[in-house]
Amino acid sequence: MILQIYLRMKVMYMVALAIGLVCMQSCAEAEDVPLCNTSLIPAPFYFTGKSGSPFTLKETTVVTYSDASLQKVAELLSGHLRAETGWAVEVSANPSGSKPGSIHLQTQPDVKGLETLPASVGLSPKDGNPAGERYKLLIEGRKIEITATSPEGVYRGVSSLRQLINGSPKEGNACKIAPLVINDGPKFAWRGMSFDVSRCFFEIDEVKQMIDLLALYKMNVLHWHLTDNQGWRVEIKKYPALTGVGAAMPDNGRKGGYYTQEQYKEIVRYAAGGKPPVPSSNIYRPVPARHRA
């Protein structure tokens, strides 16, 4: 009996040792890519490190785009880089393709590698094909390219690049981004968050900040929960008492409030600028806040 236990333990030890050696060998053979580059949220379908020098992001880096449909996305990326680094990164059209030292955004009818990605699960919040959100991100020592079949896909690639930049090592006035290839697309067509401002009111700038975070992590729906038992948060000019009473109710120790119609339109416009859509701002429920008004 004792011999059987000993032999069993020895076999388990040998198996564990073999697994450990395999893992160590795999790590030794992998590309030298910083851990931050493998920690994208959500995790990409296909990710591989490349050999060669990292891309050096610096003040002279230029963001270029292939056609007019990508100008707004390029400007958004430039704005993000300025906010994160303080650099006024130039934006310019370049239909002929990427050039050394640039971040190039482009759309193509077919992008090699994206056709093998699995189909998205569920229904898209828009009429478009969720496959349009797929993108390819290529980082080399001389250039960065983000390629997709639609501007929305390019924007998703920009979101991944922003995460990589935030996690990459800084050296003086430059940022080193490890070379890699990512082919990615949404696993789920509908990726949303319910933002309950009825129970806990947030100012309009805070709503925009939430939209920015959702966009960074590639979510595509904001369910803006505006009315419930605890408050009515959107202006209805024909019924001013809805906000006069419903927006002034106790709010978990926070001040109450509501959004004017102009502020509501502003949020919808902001969300449309490359951010998640706002298709579900529910103001339809017959809640006590309405009855009290």
pLDDT single digits (tens) 193-225 = 889 998 889 999 999 999 999 999 999 888 899
**Structure token pair of residue 255:** 């001040």
236 and 95 belong to one structural domain: no
Has residue 17 been placed in a domain? Answer: no
Has residue 229 been placed in a domain? Answer: yes
| CATH code for position 117 | 3.30.379.10
| Average pLDDT value over all residues in the chain | 80
- CB contact set of 166 (below 8 Å; sequence gap of 6+): 84
**pLDDT value of residue 251:** 62
For strand 135-139 and strand 143-148, is the pairing parallel, antiparallel, or unpaired? antiparallel
Has residue 227 been placed in a domain? Answer: yes
Domain that holds residue 161: 35-184
- Which regions of the chain does DSSP assign to beta strands (E)? 46-49, 55-57, 62-65, 90-93, 102-107, 135-139, 143-148, 170-171, 174-177, 180-184, 192-196, 221-225, 227-228, 231-232
257 and 143 belong to one structural domain: no
Quote the number of domains for the chain.
Answer: 2
217 and 288 belong to one structural domain: yes
41 and 180 belong to one structural domain: yes
Question: Looking at 184, 205, 238, which one is the last position of a domain?
Answer: 184
46 and 106 belong to one structural domain: yes
110 and 90 belong to one structural domain: yes
**Structure token pair of residue 227:** 């009315």
> CB of 43 within 8 A of CB of 81?
no
- Angle, helices 204-216/151-167, rounded to nearest 10 degrees: 90
Has residue 26 been placed in a domain? Answer: no
**pLDDT value of residue 28:** 32
Has residue 28 been placed in a domain? Answer: no
Question: Looking at 133, 159, 184, which one is the last position of a domain?
Answer: 184
Q: Rounded to the nearest 10 degrees, how much is the dihedral formed by the CA atoms of 126, 131, 133, 135?
A: -170
- CB contact set of 86 (below 8 Å; sequence gap of 6+): none
Distance CA 259, CA 56 (A): 43
**pLDDT value of residue 105:** 97
Has residue 179 been placed in a domain? Answer: yes
174 and 39 belong to one structural domain: yes
Has residue 76 been placed in a domain? Answer: yes
**pLDDT value of residue 17:** 38
57 and 109 belong to one structural domain: yes
**pLDDT value of residue 166:** 85
Distance CA 159, CA 12 (A): 44
Closest CA to 293 of 225, 228, 239: 239
Give the count of beta carbons closer than 10 Å to the beta carbon of residue 111: 17
Has residue 1 been placed in a domain? Answer: no
Report if pTM > 0.85: no
95 and 153 belong to one structural domain: yes
212 and 172 belong to one structural domain: no
Question: Looking at 147, 163, 184, which one is the last position of a domain?
Answer: 184
What string of pLDDT tens digits covers the 293 residues of the chain? Answer: 443 433 344 434 443 333 343 333 333 333 344 434 457 999 999 999 888 899 999 999 999 999 999 999 999 999 999 988 888 899 999 988 878 899 999 999 999 999 999 999 888 877 667 888 999 999 999 999 999 999 999 999 999 999 999 888 777 788 899 999 999 999 999 898 889 998 889 999 999 999 999 999 999 888 899 988 888 999 999 999 999 988 987 666 677 899 999 999 999 888 887 555 554 444 433 334 444 45
129 and 179 belong to one structural domain: yes
244 and 176 belong to one structural domain: no
